[in-house]
């Protein structure tokens, strides 16, 4: 062999466009092209300096051709004319003038062929040539294999990155569209929690504020996961908003047409034509009149919310198909009167369908019993999540999004007004004008009244809590107007000490400051103020708030039986 010339872009070709191909040129009559089993070599321009014929091998080598098995088991140079095999590929190679084939085999796997036609000099290949070709093949095959593995890994990494990117988009869509703020309604408390699974499902919740004061509450879940679910969730949310607000505007918010059944019916008709096949949405729509406590609702196949009433639970059942399955479906509308102290838990199937290590489901019975026996509102969300963690164990990989939302009507019972908390005796009752500094007088009089029953170890805590609650009442409730007094009542039962502090800011909600964070305050990211409520909560055993049209009462409770005797 006079010269050998390997194309300079050899490695680029291997790493090239996703398909591994080896092209090795020797100075032969026809270009020597290594063909990958099952693939077809495409023509490539011949390298300088000496032009080679541009006729390149175009050989189909299917995996079941006997030649493949032969080459795989036959290391070293193969002279084609000595082969006697019934092989279409062999006939084709002969036809194209190939004389020598050096199979590129790595660990028994045929990676490609190095094909040579006659030498330009018309002499036979020498044993040196064959030795060189053998050497070349033994070094090339593992190199190709390594290149293939690298390439494969690159593709896998790219696929993984695409998936991650998709998850990021889905999560972004979801988080952008979930409400950034919860509605504030006098006498009601709303709390919500959304915890995405790794693959991000299509859970959503939403609030629609009507101009007549009514509030729409929506919770829904799109089948499927990832970007498709997030997109359907986004369009469903927009459709529901559009339908609900359209109807409200068109009908001047008269009760008959904002009704939740018609909202779902109209939304379903709009969603049906556009939704991708095999996808649908479960959705619960409730409409609250905060003034009366009347809740109207309709359900498009969503998990039935529970109402906690005392130590029992009720279900908000209403018939209706999931959205996006069939147009023209009716949705039953139901109604419930929510009593003071009632609390509703809305949730998604990610909660009830969570599995423990024994493959048991969290399930509806466990949830409904839990709701009945635990405090409602935001505390319920927190404790349900704790219960879920106990159920699933610490190594749980969350299977689906978990969404929880509570709607709670404030109770109208202060602890010291509830008969079951024992016989109460009045220790002090007085009022003081709302003027800065007067909290000290209140603090002193309450401390005097409680002196014989509260241990000295907690007296300073009582003083701070009473002073801070009085300052809030004077400032936020009575606007520091000296003509409006703050009323104070101190009562004790055998087990409890209760202090009521009442102002006349009934309809004005107390600003709910973010939890004070000293680091943020020192960095100027949060006001240096805002410690009052924080200190009160630190120093009492319970705090209750009751409001009516005119009054706002804070009740501070200390448990006497837990305290050390002094």
Partner 1 sequence: MATLEATVRQQPHAAVIDLKGDIDGAGESALQKAYADAAAQKPSSILLNFGEVGYINSKGIALIVMLLAQARKSGTRLLTTGLSSHYVEIFNITRLSDFMKIYPDEASALANSG
Give residues in contact with partner 1 (CB under 8 A): 436-437, 439-440, 460-461, 464, 467-468, 471, 516, 518, 521-524, 527-532, 534-535, 538
Q: Kindly state the smallest distance separating residue 434's Cβ from partner 1, in Å.
A: 14
Beta-strand pair 402-409/188-195: antiparallel
3-state SS, residue 62:
coil
Pick 210 or 531: Cβ nearer partner 1: 531
Minimum CB–partner distance for residue 465 and partner 1 (Å) = 11
Minimum CB distance to partner 1 smaller for 359 or for 529:
529
CB-wise, 11 or 534, nearer to partner 1? 534
Least Å distance, CB 464 to partner 1, is 7
For residue 546 the two structure tokens come to: 């009751």
- Length in residues, the chain: 566
Nearer Cβ to partner 1, position 365 or 524? 524
Measured distance between the N- and C-terminal CA atoms of the chain, rounded to whole angstroms: 108
Please enumerate in sequence order all residues whose Cβ is within 8 A of that of 347, keeping only pairs 6 or more positions apart, or say none.
219, 303, 305, 367, 384, 402, 403, 404, 405
Nearer to partner 1, 4 or 461 (CB): 461
Least separation in angstroms between residue 539's CB and partner 1 is: 9
- Tell me the closest approach of the beta carbon of residue 458 to partner 1, in angstroms: 10
CB of residue 533 vs partner 1: minimum separation in angstroms? 9
Residue 277: partners with Cβ closer than 8 Å, 6 or more residues away: none
Smallest gap, in angstroms, from Cβ of residue 397 to partner 1?
35
d(CA 153, CA 238): 41
The Cα 255–Cα 346 span in angstroms is 23
Cβ proximity to partner 1, 317 vs 440, nearer residue:
440
Q: Tell me how far, at minimum, the Cβ of 419 lies from partner 1, in Å.
A: 35
3-state secondary structure 187-255: CEEEEEEEECCCCCCEEEEEEEECCCCCEEEEEEEECCCHHHHHHHHHHHHHHHHHHHHHHHHHCCCCC
Residue that is written with structure tokens 């220790």 in the block = 427
Q: Are 338 and 307 in contact (CB under 8 A)?
A: yes
Adjacent-strand bridge partners of 415: none
CB atoms within 10 A of CB 97: 17
403 versus 470: smaller Cβ distance to partner 1: 470
Supply the minimum distance, in Å, between the C-beta of residue 437 and partner 1: 5
Smaller CB distance to partner 1: residue 364 or 531?
A: 531
Nearer to partner 1, 529 or 565 (CB): 529
Neighbours of 503 (CB within 10 A): 27
Angle, helices 456-472/439-450, rounded to nearest 10 degrees = 150
Give the whole-angstrom CA distance, residue 368 versus residue 376: 12
- What 3 state SS string does 435-497 have? CCCCHHHHHHHHHHHHCCCCCHHHHHHHHHHHHHHHHHHHHHHCCCCCCCEEEEEEEECCCEE
* Cβ 515 to partner 1 shortest distance, Å: 11
Nearer to partner 1, 383 or 464 (CB): 464
């Amino acid at each position: 062999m006079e010269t050998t010339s390997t194309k300079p872009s050899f490695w680029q070709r291997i790493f090239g466009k996703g398909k591994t191909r080896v092209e090795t040129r020797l100075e032969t009559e026809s270009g020597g092209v290594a063909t990958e089993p099952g693939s077809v070599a495409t023509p490539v321009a011949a390298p300088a300096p000496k032009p080679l014929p541009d006729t390149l091998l175009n050989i189909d080598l299917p995996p079941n051709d006997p030649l493949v098995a032969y080459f795989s088991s036959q290391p070293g140079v193969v002279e084609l004319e000595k082969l006697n095999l019934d092989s279409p590929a062999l006939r084709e190679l002969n036809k194209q003038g190939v004389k020598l084939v050096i199979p590129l085999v790595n660990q028994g796997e045929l990676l490609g062929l190095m094909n040579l036609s006659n030498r330009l000099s018309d002499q036979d290949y020498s044993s040196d040539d064959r030795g060189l070709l053998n050497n070349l093949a033994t070094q090339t095959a593992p190199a190709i294999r390594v290149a293939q593995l690298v390439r494969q890994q690159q593709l896998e990494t790219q696929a993984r990155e695409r998936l991650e990117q998709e998850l990021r988009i889905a999560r972004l869509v979801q988080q952008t569209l979930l409400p950034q703020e919860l509605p504030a309604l006098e006498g009601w408390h709303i709390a919500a929690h959304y915890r995405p699974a790794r693959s991000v499902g299509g859970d959503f919740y939403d609030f629609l504020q009507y101009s007549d004061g009514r509030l729409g509450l929506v919770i829904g879940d799109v089948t499927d996961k990832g970007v498709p679910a997030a997109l359907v969730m986004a369009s469903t949310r927009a459709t529901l908003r559009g339908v609900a607000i359209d109807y409200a505007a068109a009908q001047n918010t008269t009760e008959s047409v904002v009704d939740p059944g018609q909202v779902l019916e109209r939304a379903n008709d709009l969603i049906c034509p556009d939704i991708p096949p095999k996808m649908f949405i479960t959705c619960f729509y409730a409409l609250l009149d905060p003034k009366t406590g009347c809740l109207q609702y309709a359900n498009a196949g969503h998990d039935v919310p529970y109402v906690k009433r005392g130590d029992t639970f009720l279900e908000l059942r209403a018939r209706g198909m999931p959205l996006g399955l069939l147009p023209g479906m009716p949705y039953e509308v139901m109604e419930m009167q929510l009593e003071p102290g009632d609390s509703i838990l809305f949730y998604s199937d990610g909660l009830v369908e969570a599995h423990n290590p024994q493959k048991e489901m969290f399930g509806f019975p466990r949830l409904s019993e839990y709701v009945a026996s635990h405090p409602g509102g935001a505390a319920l969300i927190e404790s349900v999540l704790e219960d879920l963690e106990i159920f699933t164990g610490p190594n749980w990989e969350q299977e689906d999004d978990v969404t929880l939302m509570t709607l709670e009507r404030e109770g109208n019972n202060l602890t010291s007004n509830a008969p079951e908390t024992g016989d109460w005796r009045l220790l002090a009752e007085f009022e003081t004008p709302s003027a800065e500094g007067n909290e000290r007088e209140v603090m002193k009089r309450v401390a005097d009244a409680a002196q014989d029953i509260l241990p000295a170890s907690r007296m300073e805590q009582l003083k701070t809590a009473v002073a801070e609650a009085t300052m809030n009442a004077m400032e936020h409730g009575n606007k520091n107007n000296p003509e409006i007094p703050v009323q104070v009542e101190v009562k004790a039962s055998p087990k409890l000490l209760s202090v009521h502090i009442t102002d006349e800011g009934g309809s004005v909600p107390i600003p709910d400051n973010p939890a004070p964070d000293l680091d943020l305050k020192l960095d100027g990211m949060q006001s240096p103020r805002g410690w009052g409520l924080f200190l009160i909560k630190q120093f009492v055993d319970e705090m209750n708030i009751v409001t009516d049209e005119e009054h706002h009462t804070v009740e501070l409770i200390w448990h006497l039986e837990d305290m050390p005797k002094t």
